[in-house]
Chains A and B, each alone.
Chain A
Amino acid sequence: MSKELVARWYSKISETEKDLPLLLVDNYAYTPRMAYSEVMNGSALGAKLQSLIEMGKFGTSALDEQAIAKVRLQQILQSKPDKPMFATLSNKVYTPSELMQEIESGTQLGAQWLNNEISHMSNIVRVR
């Protein structure tokens, strides 16, 4: 397999995605930017990360998936201005911090975002 596949994958994902934890090797989570750097340097860790990217997997257990998904959403939402940005057609409006509260409290709304984040991670690692 080639480094080109990793380079192509890396070039297609957004700048924010490049800095969100995604790939798990030996209980450590790596962002796409870290993975790209390791793969391009040809390290042993890079080979493991490259293998995950080629297989379109992020290498986690169900428990890890939930934890990584929460960290990813935290990272995205904490960087936003705290103004109403998200609304639903059940007449509710949320600021990023209010949405994060829902996620941390494990409400139905929070679970909706958390579960979606796991499937989003899957979509990101399979970008070609």
Chain B
Amino acid sequence: MPALTNTFLFVEPTDNYLEYGSVPLHQIVEANKQAGQNITELMGVDANPERIKQELANTNSLFFAGIGHGSPSVFTVQNLAPLLHAENPDELALMKDRIVDLCSCLTAQQLGPALIDAGAVTYAGYKLEFWFYTGDAPGVSRAVQSPFLAEFAFIASLLRGKSTGEARADQLKKYDEEIAYWMTGEGKNHADADELARILELNKSISVFLGEASVSPSPQAGALPMQINPMITFTVASIPIVYLIYKAL
């Protein structure tokens, strides 16, 4: 059975410094998801190989994205448990017909091409080390989020209905925006702006996209009704109350 459109699976481990990526990934999914999309996020201990395989079988998602530690031929998840080996046909078959985004080091050397050979629609990943900044706690500053904001721009665009090729272009544009922010923009006088600009440049230069550029995991997303943020509903609803309180004074 072909993988299902509008169906997304995100794998978000939180140990071994992976929370630095999982926190912004969760925020990006929350901010960009559209009505009618079936989204599963496996976080922390749920991001284990058995559970992931079970969800892939249950949801048959067209889109799979994971953050994890990697090597040229292996992608790992929570507790450094291997999920995909380039030499294992059964594991490669898990990604057949899917759009695959692996935010990890080195997998573009062997695992990415092996996934494409085994029938993945696209692969996005990195051919050398993916760097990030740990000067603050996970999720608390633009500095720790910045490398992941660029990487996950690909996901944000796909959730909003764009094709893989358009999402890739958006990702590269976001890299340039983040580099400019630290190099010449508002962030240029941050204590570690120099390192942050370099980290983004390094990651951009080793970012790899393989496969089909014209596939959209959520082709009708642009036409679907937007989900209303509950905070916006609260703010709008509270305007007459605030006005009445003001009038009473």
Contact = CB atoms under 8 A, between A and B. Distances in A.
B184 A93 contact: no
Contact of A90 (B129, B189, B192): B129
Interface stretch (A31-39, A43-51, A60-68, A114-122): A114-122
Interface in B178-209: 179, 183-184, 188-189, 192-195, 197-199, 201-202, 205-206
Interface string B90-122: 000000000000011110000000000000000
B83 to A, nearest CB: 14
A17 B179 CA distance: 14
Interface in A1-23: 12-17
Contacts of A123: 179, 183, 201
Nearest to B103: A89
B16 interface: yes
A111 to B, nearest CB: 10
B201 A109 contact: no
Taking residues whose C-beta sits less than 8 angstroms from the other chain, chain B's interface range is 35 or more
B130 interface: yes
B21 interface: yes
User: What size tier do the contact residues of chain A reach?
Assistant: 20 to 34
Contacts, number: 94
Contact of B193 (A16, A80, A109, A116): A16
Given A16-B193, A112-B129, A120-B198, A89 B21 contact: yes
B128 A112 contact: yes
Contact of B195 (A83, A86, A92): A86
B134 A120 contact: no
Interface string A72-105: 0000100010011111111111000000000000
Given A90-B106, A120-B197, A12 B129 contact: no
Nearest to A83: B135
B194 A116 contact: no
B205 A119 contact: yes
A123 to B, nearest CB: 7
A113 interface: yes
Contacts of B195: 76, 80, 85-86
Interface of A: 12-17, 76, 80, 83-93, 108-109, 112-113, 116-117, 119-120, 123-124, 127
A86 B131 contact: yes
A90 B71 contact: yes
B201 A76 contact: no
Contacts of B21: 89
* Closest 4 pairs between A and B when the two form their complex, measured CB to CB: A90-B105, A14-B188, A88-B129, A91-B69
Among B126, B132, B198, B206, find the residue whose CB has the most chain A CB atoms closer than 10 A.
B198
B67 interface: yes
B76 to A, nearest CB: 8
Given A89-B18, A89-B69, 4 more contacts: A15-B189, A80-B195, A88-B130, A89-B67
B70 interface: yes
